[in-house]
Structure 1
Amino acid sequence: MIVLQYFKILARFVFMFLISAVLLPFKIKPNKIVFINFNGKGYGDTPKSICEYLRTTYPDLDLVWLARDNEGFPDGVRVVKYGTFQAFYEQASSKVWVYNV
């Protein structure tokens, strides 16, 4: 049992180290927020409500939505194709992620 707990702690440390090494070259942009709704299924649910509030209240934010298609998005929301390298970059350089899965 103790060996299993030790392995979990070690695995978590290695995982965080690898993630940190991958994300290190990307500069975090403090005004960027990335949204994903059900793995890229579109503009909706709770992330939509949060995005609408932020879009009207803080127009200087860079609101990025990762989606499979770009239909139905309002002005002021930048759409990036879900699952692409550009989507990975947007997530890596964003200060805040808003997801529902």
Structure 2
Amino acid sequence: MESKNVQLNDSIFISLPGKGTSGLLWQYRIENDGVIDLERIDYEDDVHKIDSTIPVGTSIPEVFKITGQKKGSTKIFFEQRRPWEHGSPPYDTREFEINVD
């Protein structure tokens, strides 16, 4: 499990490898509600403006913005899966412990 620190009312970003072209998306569950706010950042329309060498149709990383809402700690459990394949095991998993100071 990877640990990250964020200041109260400040934000950090987590980037996870994308496989969107195969239908895999990162889904998440937060252990303690209210400690952080988590938002998926959609930059797909801008990715080729950022790096024109990325071929069209290539999977891009999925980026999540985490904002500290109150002091404490929580865990985020990410699972990469196809949303329509209910009950199947995830393709990949990641866990983060987030400490808000």
Question: Shorter-normalised TM-score: what interval?
Answer: under 0.3
TM-score, length-scaled by structure 1: 0.23
Structure of greater relative contact order (alpha carbons < 8 Å, 6+ residues apart): 2
More strand by share: 2
Structure (1 or 2) with the larger CA radius of gyration: 1
More helix by share: 1
